[in-house]
A and B are shown apart, each in its own frame.
Chain A
C-alpha cells in the first residue's frame, strides 16, 4: 500500500464498516475498535476515530502526507445483528491479511439487505407474542389470543412501513392496536382469559430490549453520549408503548363489561 488512492480507499472502507455497524445497532466501543483496526493496517502515525450514535469522525494522518478526515452522518438506525456480524468477519479477515483491501471494500458494499423475508419477520413477531404470553403466566388459549394480537401488530407495522411513519407513532399505534384487540378478545366468553396476560405478552416484540442492552454497554465503556442517547431511545419507546396501550384501553372503555 503506497499510493494516496490506496489510503483513501482504506479510509473509505473503515468509514463504511463503521457506518454499517452504527446504523444497525452495534456498540460504540466495537465500532471504534473495528475502524481503528482497519486504519492501523496503513501504519500511519495517527489514526483517530470518534463515533456517536448519530455520526462518525475518522482521521488518518502521517508526516509523509496530508491528513485525511471523513465525517459521516448516520440518519437511520435499526437493529440488524447479521450485518454487524458480517462486518466483523470481513474486518477480521482484512486485518489478518486474508483478503485484499479492494475485496474488503467490495464485500462491505455488497452486504445484502435482509436475511428473512417480510412474512418470516411477521411470523417471528406472532410467535414471539404467543411465547412471551406463556412466559408471563398465560395459558394456551391466552397464547393464541396473543398470536391474534401479534397479527394485528404485524398489520399495523406493514401499514406504517407504507406511509413511512416515525418510530414513536409506529410503536404507539401498534400498542393501541394490541390493546383494542385484547379488549375485544376478552369479550369472547371463554374461561380463564385475562387481558393482562394477553397484552403484556403481545407488547414484548416491541419492548426496547436492544436499545436498553446497548445503552448499558455503551455507558460501561465510557461512551456516555451514545449511552444516554440509547437510554433515551429505550425510554421513549417504553413511553410510546405505555401511552399506546393506555389509549387503546380508554378507547374501548365503552365495550368493556
Chain B
C-alpha cells in the first residue's frame, strides 16, 4: 500500500509538470494525489469501487480548497492534478477493449462502471465546491 501511495505521489507530481503546474506547488499536487489515492485504497474493501472513488475525490477536493485558500491561488491548480488518479481512464479502456473482443456484456458492465465512477467524482467536486462557496459568502470580508 505504501508503494502504491508513493506511486500516486510520483505520478501526480509528474503529470502536474506536464500540465505546467507552478514549480513550487509540484510536491503539494503530488501530496494531494497521494492522499486521494490513500483514501480510495482504505475504503475500497468495505465500500466498493464507486463509493471509495467518491470518498477519495471528496478528500482531494477538500485539501485542494484548503491549500488554495492557504496559498491564495486558484483551486484549479491543485484540483486538476489531484483528481487525476481517480479519473476512470482504465475502466474506459477496458470497456472498449472488451467491445473489440466481442464480449459485449462485460464491455457494458465496464462502461457502466466508468460512468458511475465519473459521476461520483463529479458529485464529490460539486459538493465541496458548494460547501466552500457557502463558507465564502458567509464571510465576504475575508478571502
Q: Which residues of A contact B (CB under 8 A)?
A: 25-27, 30, 79-85, 88-89, 92, 114-116, 120-121, 123-128, 130-132, 134-136, 143, 196, 199-201, 203-205, 207-210, 212-214, 216-217, 220, 238, 241-243, 245-246, 249-250
Contact = CB atoms under 8 A, between A and B. Distances in A.
List the 3 shortest-distance A-B pairs measured between CB atoms, nearest first. Answer: A131-B11, A127-B14, A200-B90
Interface of B: 3-4, 7-8, 10-12, 14-23, 37, 72-74, 76-77, 79-81, 83-85, 87, 89-90, 92-97, 99-100, 118, 121-122, 125-126, 129-130
A124 B14 contact: yes
Contacts of B17: 116, 120-121, 123-124
A220 B99 CA distance: 33
Contacts of B84: 204, 207, 209
Given A85-B74, A128-B14, A199 B85 contact: no
Contacts of B79: 213, 217
Given A134-B7, A209-B84, 9 more contacts: A79-B19, A82-B22, A127-B11, A131-B14, A135-B85, A136-B90, A207-B84, A209-B89, A212-B83
A250 B99 CA distance: 12
A95 to B, nearest CB: 13
Contact of A132 (B3, B11, B76, B94): B11
A126 B17 CA distance: 11
Given A121-B18, A132-B85, A196 B94 contact: yes
Contacts of A83: 20
Question: Mostly helix, strand, loop or mixed at chain B's interface?
Answer: helix
A204 B74 CA distance: 24
A238 B77 CA distance: 22
Contact of A88 (B73, B118, B121): B73
A55 to B, nearest CB: 20
Contacts of A88: 73-74
Contacts of A238: 89, 92
A146 to B, nearest CB: 10
A205 B85 CA distance: 10
A82 B15 contact: no
Contact of B93 (A116, A214, A241): A241
Nearest to A208: B87
A209 B97 CA distance: 20
Contacts of B20: 79-83, 114-116
Contacts of B73: 85, 88-89
Contact of A213 (B11, B89, B125): B125
Contacts of B76: 25-27, 30, 81, 84, 213-214, 217
B92 A125 contact: no
A131 B22 contact: no
B73 to A, nearest CB: 5
Given A116-B20, A135-B8, A246-B96, A81 B89 contact: no
A250 B19 contact: no
A242 B93 contact: yes
Given A81-B76, A246-B100, A207 B18 contact: no
A249 B118 CA distance: 25
A30 B7 CA distance: 32
Given A128-B15, A134-B4, A217 B125 contact: yes
Contacts of B12: 131
B37 A135 contact: yes
A209 B23 contact: no
A212 B118 contact: yes
